Chains A and B, each alone.
Chain A
Amino acid sequence: MERCAARRAPEEERRVRANAREYNEKFQYASNCIKTSKYNIVTFLPVNLFEQFQEVANTYFLFLLILQLIPQISSLSWFTTIVPLVLVLTITAVKDATDDYFRHKSDNQVNNRQSQVLIGGVLRQEQWMNVRVGDIIKLENNQFVAADLLLLSSSEPHGLCYIETSELDGETNMKVRQAIPVTSELGDTGKLAGFDGEVICEPPNNKLDKFGGTLYWKENKYPLSNQNMLLRGCVLRNTEWCFGLVVFAGPDTKLMQNSGRTKFKRTSIDRLMNTLVLWIFGFLVCMGVILAIGNAIWEHEVGVCFQIYLPWDEGVHSAFFSGFLSFWSYIIILNTVVPISLYVSMGSVTLTPSVEVIRLGHSYFINWDKKMYCAKRRTPAEARTTTLNEELGQVEYIFSDKTGTLTQNIMVFSKCSVNGHSYGDVQDVLGPKAELGERPEPVDFSFNPLADPRFQFWDPSLLEAVKLGDPHVHEFFRLLSLCHTVMSEERSQGELFYKAQSPDEGALVAAARNFGFVFRSRTPKTITVQELGRAVTYQLLAILDFNNIRKRMSVIVRSPEGKIRLYCKGADTILLERLHPLNQDLSNITTDHLNEYAGEGLRTLVLAYKDLEESYYEDWAERLRRAGSAPEAREDRLARLYDELLGATAIEDKLQQGVPETIAILTLANIKIWVLTGDKQETAVNIGYSCKMLTDDMTEVFVVTGHTVLEVREELRKAREKMMDASHSTANGFSYQEKLSSSKLTSVLEAIAGEYALVINGHSLAHALEADMEVEFLETACACKAVICCRVTPLQKAQVVELVKKYKKAVTLAIGDGANDVSMIKTAHIGVGISGQEGIQAVLASDYSFSQFKFLQRLLLVHGRWSYLRMCKFLCYFFYKNFAFTMVHFWFGFFCGFSAQTVYDQYFITLYNIVYTSLPVLAMGVFDQDVPEQRSMEYPKLYEPGQLNLLFNKREFFICIAQGIYTSVLMFFIPYGVFADATRDDGAQLADYQSFAVTVATSLVIVVSVQIGLDTGFWTAINHFFIWGSLAAYFAILFAMHSDGLFQMFPNQFRFVGNAQNTLAQPTVWLTIALTTVVCIMPVVAFRFLKLDLKPELSDTVRYTQLVRKKQKTQHRCMRRVGRAGSRRSGYAFSHQEGFGELIMSGKNMRLSSLALAGFAARPSAGWIETLRKKKGSDAGSPDKALKV
C-alpha cells in the first residue's frame, strides 16, 4: 500500500476545485486510498518483533535468556526460558499476522471497489483508491459512498437523495440529503464536466453531524452544510443515481477520522497485581542478595579449600565476584516467583496463558447466557471487552441513563392539552377498576382508512372534538402532521410507514395520522397531508431542526391559501418564555397540565405557532442566506423567533420490564444507583419512584435546584446538616460499628442512619461539579441511598462519573443506550450499552451490551460475582503454587554452597507451570461456583465481598505467599531429614541428588494437586479430568523423560535415566511423599474448617443450607412448587405491560411508589420484594446477622 500517501501537517482550510486535478494537487490532499494494516511481508518480522519486545515482560524474558547464555551464570538450561518466550512470541505474532492479513484484505477490498469518475467529460470506472479530491463521481442506488462528497445532483427531484448511515453512527433509519439548488440542475455528464465551482471549507475533522463551507461558483457564494454532504460509509438508498464532488478522501474522511483506538481499561485487580508484581520483584532481588552474600561467604570459607576438587571458573578470582555471579544465577532460577506470565496479560492485550483464558471463558459464558437473551429483540448479551469480567463483581456505583435504559423508549401518545383542555384521562371515569386490567374499549378509528391499527387511545372526547371541527384541535394535529422530520413510505395504496428519527416524533405523527391528519409524503419543498380525507399540500419554506441549544424544532410552511405560518414544538422551558404575553391565562393552564403530565412520568412537548407576514419572512430568509456563509455562527442566529401557544402533548415513556425488582436487588447488594438523565426533574423523580429508587420509607428527598453557586452550596449544606442531625438523634451503636468495620469510609457522613435521596438539577450540578464544591457534593450524594441528576448534558454525565472515580476508590459502572451516554460509558470503569432503539453508538463504546436493564442484575450478581470469585481463587492459588515451587531452591541454597543448583530436573522446571499445574487451576478459574446462581439473586449480600475487595487483597496475598513458603519449607526439609544418611532397602545410597529431585518434585505435584482439589468447590467432569489428568501426565512424562530410549539418543540432555523406576520403587520415598502431603495439607484443612465454623462467610452459610436442604428434599420440593406456580402467574401479569402503566398513571393524588408497591403486594410472587425490603430494614444495623439462615 505504498500508494497511500503519508501524513502531512494539519491544514487550516480546505480548497477544492471541481474537475481540476492539477490545481488540487498543489495542496497534496490525501488520496482516497486507505491503509489500516500495519505490516507487509518484508517488514512483518522485524516490526512485529520490535513491537513485542517493547513489552516489559518480553524484554524481561529476553534478559533472562541472555543471562542464561553466560556459562558462569547459567543455572538453568536455556530452553526453560526460551520455550515460554517463543511460545508467547509465536502466538502473538500469529495473532498479529492474521489480524493484519484480514486488515490487508479488507483494505484491498475497499480500495479496489469500483466507482464511476468523471474524467474529461466521460465517466470512467476507477478503483476507489484512485479517486482524488476534486473529482466528480457518480453513485448508484445501494452503493457505498466512496469518500466525503458534496452532493451536486441526483435522480430525484430537487437534488434529494436518501442515505443509510448505519456504518457511521449505527442508526438504521434513512436520512435525507439535498443538493443546493444551483447544482441540482447539473444532471448530465456534459454539464458536470463544465462545473468548475470551488469549495472552501473546514479542515478534516471527526464531527459527523457538522459541516461548514462555501461553494464559490460563477461569482456567487452558496453556503454548504452537513445537509449537502454524503459521508463515506453511508449507503445510497431509494435514489437511482447521484453525482458528488469529492471534498475529503481516504484518511481525511469523517469515517476514518472517527476510527480512533479505544482506551484500554484495566481492572482494579490488574492494578493491584502491578503493585504485587513489583513487591515480588523486590522480594526476588532480596532473596538473590541473601544467597549471593551466602555464596561469597561460602566461597571464602569453604569453597577456597574445596578448590582442589572444584576449582573456580575461569575469570573468577575472588569470592566476592563469585557471589555477584551467583546473584544472577539465582535470579534465573528464582524468577518463577514473579508471575510474569500474568504481568504480560495485564500490560497489553497480548495473548497469555492463564488469566486471559479465564477472562475469555467468562466472557463466553456471558455471551452464551440464555437468561440474558432477549427474544423480542433477538439479541444475546455480549461481552465486548474480555478483560473486565472480575470487576463486574466489585461494582459499587451504577450510573444509569433513564431513557431507553430504565424505560423502554417506546413512546405512546398518551395525553394532550389543547387550548386549555386536557384529553386522555381515563382513570377518573373508571376508577380503580382500571388497575385490574379491565380497560374500556379503545377509541375506534375505523372512520379513517389510513389509521394505524396499532395506535390506541382511550379518551373518546378528543376524537369527538376533531369530528366537531374544533379549530384549535385541528390546528394542533395539523402542527403534529407538519412539524417533524419523519419520512413516509407508501408501499401500496393506503399502507403508510413512517421512519422517524426519534420515537417521540414517530408517536406524535402517528397520533395525528389516526386523528385524521395523515402525513402522506414530503418533498424537500412540500409536505402533503391528508386532512380529514382531503389532500392538502403545503409548501415547505424551512425546517429548523432540534438541537441541544434550541431544544425545539420549527417548520415554516405556506398553506395552499398562501398564508405563511411558523409551527414550532419544543421544550416548555424554552417555548413558554417566548410566548406572546397576552396568552398568560392559557399559558398558566397549560403549565398546570404540563406539571400534571410530568408528574405522571410523561414526556411533554409544547406546541406553538405564529403567522408570519410575507415581508417578515423574506427578511428572515435573506438573513438566513447571509448568516449561512459564516459556517459556525449561523445556527445560533436563527434561534431568535417567538411563537404563540397551541397546546401540549404528553407521551408515555414505558418502563422496562423488571426494572423495579432489579433496582431493589441491586440496592440490597449495596450498590448505589445514580440516575443521570436529560429529562426534566418531575419526570425523573417520578421514574425514580416508579422504579423504586425513591420510596416513601425514605426519611427525606433533598432537591437541589439552586441557580447560583451560593444557593447550591447552601442547599447541599442544609441537606448534610439534616442528615447529621438525624443520625445524632437516632444514634445507635450500629452506625459507629459500621463505620469502624468498613475501611472505605472517608467521612462521618457515611455513617448516617436513615435513608435519604438527592435530586439535583443540571444547572445546580454545573456549580456542584466545580472544583471547590465537588467534594462537598460528592459527600452529600454518597450519603444518600439514591441520587437523581436531571437535565444533565452528556459531558456532565461523564463529569459525575469522573468525580466518583476520583474520590471514591470504588468501581463504577455506567449503563446507557444513547449517543449521549457514550462519554459516561467510556469514563466509567465498566460501560454497559443497552442495545435498544437509539442506534448502537452506546453499544459500540461499551464493554458489555444487552438489551434489557434487568439483565444487569444477572451480569453483576451472577457473572460478575463468579468472575471475581474465580479470578481471586485463581490468583491465590497461582501465587501459592509458584512460591511453593520456587522457594525450595532458596532452602536448598543453604545446603549446596549457594551455588544456584536447582532442586529439580530442568524439564520439571520447564513443564511445571505449563503442563503439570496449569489446567486444574484453569478449570477452577473458569468453572468454579460457590453458590448456585439462584442463591446469589436471593441473597444479594453475597455480592459484598467483591465490593470490599475481600477475596484478593494484600492480606490475602500474604496469606497465599505464607502458605506457599510454609509448603516449600516442608517440601525441602522433610525429604532432607529422611534422606540424610539413609539407605535404600537394597543397601544402596538413597540420598543421591537425582532421587532427591524426583522425590521433591513428586511430592510437590501431589501437594499442589491436593490443594487445588481443596480449593475447587465445584467439581465438574472437566475439573476431574484436568486434575487427575495432570497427575497422570506428570507420571507419564516423568517415566518418559527417564526412559532408556531418550537417554541413548541425547545422553547429555536426559541424565535422569532410570531414576523414576528406581526411586519410586522405594517404600521410603512414598512414605516421605505421604508425610509431606499430610503435613502440608492438614493445617490448611483445619484452618479452613475452623474459619468456616467460627466465622462463616455468607456464601459458606448459603452453601451449607444448600447441603441441609438437599437432605430435606421432599419437604422442600412441595414448598418450591407453590412458589413457582405463583411466579408463573405473576410473570404473565407482569408481561402485560398496560397494567403496570395504568398503575403509574393512576398515581394522581397519591405518592406513586406506595401504590405501585400495593400493586406488587397484591400479587403472590411480588411478596419476595417485600421480604427483601424487610430484610434490608432489619439488617441495616448488623449486615451479617440478618441473613444467617
Chain B
Amino acid sequence: MKNKTSCLPQEAGARPSRCPDNSAFKQQRLPAWKPQLTIATVLSSFFLTGAFCLSVGICLILSANSIREFQINYSDKCSECSKLRENTSNWNKECHCSVNFTLKEDMLGDVFMYYGLQNFYQNHRRYVISRSDAQLLGQNVNIEKSYCAPFTTYQNGTPMAPCGAIANSMFNDTIDLFYNLNSSVVQVPLLKTGNSWWTDKNVKFRNPKSDNLSSAFAGTARPPYWQKPVYLLDEEDERNNGYVNDDFIIWMRVSAFATFRNLYRRVERVKQFVNGLPAGNYTFHISYNFPVTKFKGRKHVILSTVVWSGGSNPFLGIAYVVTGTAATLMGFVITAIHLKLRKKKTYFQK
C-alpha cells in the first residue's frame, strides 16, 4: 500500500540496525485459515448433524426396546421389618420377608440384579469425603488424620476398619431369588463376584498383608452399623472377603445422585437359566437389615438385561431424536430466512 516503508540497505552500517525483522510472525502475516460461516457450511452442518442425531436416536430407542426390566419396591412390602429397623436397638434381631412376583416374558441374555435406593444422599460432600483410601489399600495408616470422623475410632480408641460414613452405611440386605417351577422351588444361582470394576478390585482395594484375614484386621473393630466384621463379609471366598469384597467395593463407589441402583448379583447362566430368566413365578427372599424409612427412603430390587448402550434409560434415545429433529428443522428455517433475505437484498441493490 501507499505507506510501505522499506528498510533501506544502508541500515547495515556501523550501528546495529533497529529495523524490525521482516518475519511473518512479527509482521502478523502468518499464514492462516480464515473460516467463515457461509450458507453452505452452516446448512450442511445442520442437516448432517440432524441426520446423525436422528439415526443414533432411533438406534438407541430400537435397541432399548429389547431390554427387559423388572423393578419391585420392597420397602413397603416388608413393612414389619422396616418398623423393626426404625429402632436402632433392634439391630441384631433378624428379620426376613419374601416378595412374590411373576415374570410374564422371558428375560433373555445376561440378567442383572440391582438394589436401588431412593433419597439416599451418597453425593453429600461430607459423605463423599468420609473414607480413607489408604486404609482400604491395606496400608497401615493413622486414620485419625483422614476425613472419617465421626466413624474413625470407638471411644476406647479401637480404630474402625473400614472407617468413615460411607463404609458404615453399607447396604447390608441379603436378597435371594427363587424360581417357583410347578410347586418346586429352585434357587436361581447368582454370581456375587465379577460385578465391580477390574481396577477397583485389583488396584484400589487391597487387604492388609497377613497370613489370614482375621489376624490382618486384629486390633480393629467393625463399623458401628455392621453386623459382622469386615473379614467375615464372605466367608466362602477368600478373594471376595475383607476390603476386596465386591458388595463392599460397589458400595464404596458412591453414586452421583440421591437415587441410584447398584449391581448386586448376576444370574449365572446354568441349567434352566442358561438363556436368562424364563417367564414364571419368582420369589425374593430378603433378609431385611438396612433401614430406610427413617430418612424417607425407598428400597428396590431390580432385574434387568442390558444392550450395547447399557440398561434401559430412554432419555438418551429421546434426546437424540429431539436434537436431530430440531437441527433439521433449524436447517429448514435458516434456508427459508436466507432465501427471503436474499430477495430483499437484490431489491435493495436495484
Contact = CB atoms under 8 A, between A and B. Distances in A.
Interface string A356-372: 00000000110111111
Nearest to B199: A1058
Nearest to B37: A1089
A927 interface: yes
Contacts of B330: 1082, 1086
Contacts of B203: 1044, 1047-1048, 1057-1058
Interface in A337-393: 364-365, 367-375, 378-380
Interface in A1007-1049: 1017-1023, 1044, 1047-1048
Given A310-B127, A1085-B45, A1094-B341, A1078 B110 contact: no
Interface stretch (A400-408, A697-705, A840-848, A897-905): A897-905
A977 interface: yes
A45 to B, nearest CB: 31
Contacts of B327: 1078, 1082
B316 A1068 contact: yes
A1083 B5 CA distance: 46
A778 B34 CA distance: 44
Contact of A368 (B20, B116, B124): B20
Interface string A1129-1144: 0110000000000000
Interface string B289-330: 001001110000000101111111101100110010011001
B27 A1068 contact: no
A468 interface: no
A1047 B204 contact: yes
B8 interface: yes
B8 A375 contact: yes
B168 A309 contact: yes
A1017 B37 CA distance: 10
A1021 B30 CA distance: 8
A368 B26 contact: yes
A984 interface: yes
A980 interface: yes
B125 A900 contact: yes
Contact of B320 (A374, A933, A1071): A1071
A368 B28 CA distance: 9
Interface in A675-729: none
Contact of A901 (B124, B136, B255): B124
Contacts of A1051: 133-134, 136-137, 139
B121 A368 contact: no
Contact of B20 (A75, A308, A373, A1106): A373
Interface string B123-134: 111111010111
B3 interface: yes
B295 to A, nearest CB: 4
A621 interface: no
A1017 B35 contact: yes
A375 B4 CA distance: 11
Given A988-B263, A1104-B36, A1079 B323 contact: yes
Contacts of B53: 1075, 1078
Interface of A: 75, 302, 305-306, 308-311, 313-314, 329, 364-365, 367-375, 378-380, 658, 661, 854, 858, 866, 895-897, 899-901, 927, 929, 933-934, 937, 974, 976-997, 1017-1023, 1044, 1047-1048, 1051-1052, 1055, 1057-1058, 1061-1062, 1066-1068, 1071-1072, 1075, 1078-1079, 1082, 1085-1086, 1088-1090, 1092-1094, 1103-1104, 1106-1107, 1127, 1130-1131, 1165
B154 interface: no
Interface string B217-260: 00000000100000000000000000000000010011111111
Contacts of A661: 2-3
A1094 B337 contact: yes
A1019 B34 contact: yes
Query: Which of A1072, A1085, A1130: most chain B CB closer than 10 A?
Result: A1085
Given A375-B8, A1075-B316, 9 more contacts: A308-B294, A368-B20, A368-B21, A370-B22, A896-B124, A981-B311, A1062-B197, A1089-B39, A1093-B341
B125 A371 contact: no
Given A378-B18, A901-B125, A1018 B2 contact: no
A858 B266 contact: no
Contacts of B307: 985
Contacts of B259: 980-981
B262 interface: yes
Interface string B36-65: 111100100110010001001000100000
A1057 B134 CA distance: 13
A895 B257 contact: yes
Contact of B306 (A983, A1021, A1092): A983
B196 interface: yes
Contacts of B21: 368
B257 A980 contact: yes
Contacts, number: 311
Interface SS of A by simple majority: helix
B263 to A, nearest CB: 5
A989 B261 contact: yes
A977 B26 CA distance: 50
Given A306-B121, A311-B150, A380-B18, A988 B37 contact: no
B272 interface: no
Nearest to A313: B126
B1 A937 contact: yes
Contact of A992 (B36, B146, B256, B258): B256
A277 to B, nearest CB: 28
Contacts of A314: 149-150
A1044 to B, nearest CB: 5
Contacts of A378: 11, 15, 17-19
Contact of B121 (A896, A977, A991, A1089): A896
3 tightest A-B contacts by CB? A1058-B199, A983-B311, A996-B256
A378 B13 CA distance: 11
Contact of A375 (B6, B34, B311): B6
A1052 B146 contact: yes
Contacts of A1089: 37, 39, 42, 334
A1058 B204 contact: yes
B310 A1066 contact: yes
8 contacts: A310-B124, A313-B126, A373-B18, A378-B19, A1052-B133, A1062-B197, A1093-B338, A1094-B337
A1006 to B, nearest CB: 15
Contact of B28 (A75, A933, A992, A1165): A933
B196 to A, nearest CB: 7
Contacts of A375: 5-8, 11, 19
A375 B13 CA distance: 12
B126 A983 contact: no
Contact of B315 (A658, A854, A977): A977
A1093 B337 CA distance: 9
B268 interface: no
Given A370-B22, A1019-B35, A986 B306 contact: yes
Interface in B322-350: 323, 326-327, 330, 334, 337-338, 341
B310 A984 contact: yes
B197 to A, nearest CB: 5
Contact of B5 (A371, A994, A1021, A1092): A371
A1071 B56 CA distance: 9
Contacts of B38: 1107
A305 B295 contact: yes
B5 A374 contact: yes
A1003 B150 CA distance: 36
A331 to B, nearest CB: 14
Contacts of B8: 375
Contact of B42 (A305, A982, A994, A1085): A1085
Contacts of B260: 981, 989, 991
Given A367-B20, A978-B316, A308 B295 contact: yes
B1 A1127 contact: yes
